């Protein structure tokens, strides 16, 4: 069994990574394989509803989304973690 863990933080070794490290330890103690992918520091294009993915099986924008799509296929479980980054002006 494998769990894919998506880290939405831009910070390598940040708080989200530290929290996920603890989660990975628990999965490993249960003999569950994990793979953590940091996406918060990557450029990701938004969907433009061109529907090319329905025909080609991948996005026309060849970014981390296409990498993750392959990993989704082989994963049995998914964890999505992200920090809250909100700045209030005024
Ligand atoms: C620019 C900025 C804005 C933030 N805004 C919020 C917020 O609105 N609410 C909140 O609870 N935490 C906020 N935080 C705190 C982060 O969510 C928190 O420190 C988080 O653990 C950071 O995770 P990271 O180290 O993986 O980036 C903010 C942090 C930063 C740097």
Confidence band of 2 (pLDDT split at 50, 70, 90): very high
For residue 65, being part of any structural domain is answered with yes
Q: Nearest to residue 7, comparing CAs of 33, 31, 40?
A: 40
Indicate the pTM of the whole model: 0.91
pLDDT of residue 79: 98
Distance 60 CA to ligand 1 centre (A): 32
Instruction: Give the tens place of pLDDT for each residue, 21-69.
Output: 999 999 999 999 999 999 999 999 999 999 999 999 999 999 999 999 9
| 14 Cβ below 6 A of ligand 1 | yes
- CATH of residue 76's domain is 3.40.50.360
User: Considering its fold, how many domains does the chain have in total?
Assistant: 1
Q: What is the DSSP string of 5-74?
A: EEE--SSTTSHHHHHHHHHHHHHHHTT-EEEEEE-TTS--PPP----HHHHHSS-SS-SHHHHHHHHHHH
Ligand 1 test: best mutation among 39, 85, 87, most atoms within 8 Å of CB?
Answer: 85
For residue 86, being part of any structural domain is answered with no
Structural domain for 23, as ranges = 2-81
């Amino acid at each position: 069994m494998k769990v894919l863990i998506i880290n939405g933080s831009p910070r390598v070794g940040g708080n989200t990574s530290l929290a996920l490290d603890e989660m990975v330890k628990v999965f490993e103690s249960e003999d569950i394989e994990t793979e953590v992918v940091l996406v918060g520091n990557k450029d990701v294009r938004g969907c433009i509803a061109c529907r090319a993915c329905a025909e080609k099986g991948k996005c026309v924008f060849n970014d981390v989304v296409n990498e993750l799509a392959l990993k989704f296929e082989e994963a049995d479980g998914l964890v999505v973690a992200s920090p809250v980054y909100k700045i209030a002006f005024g």
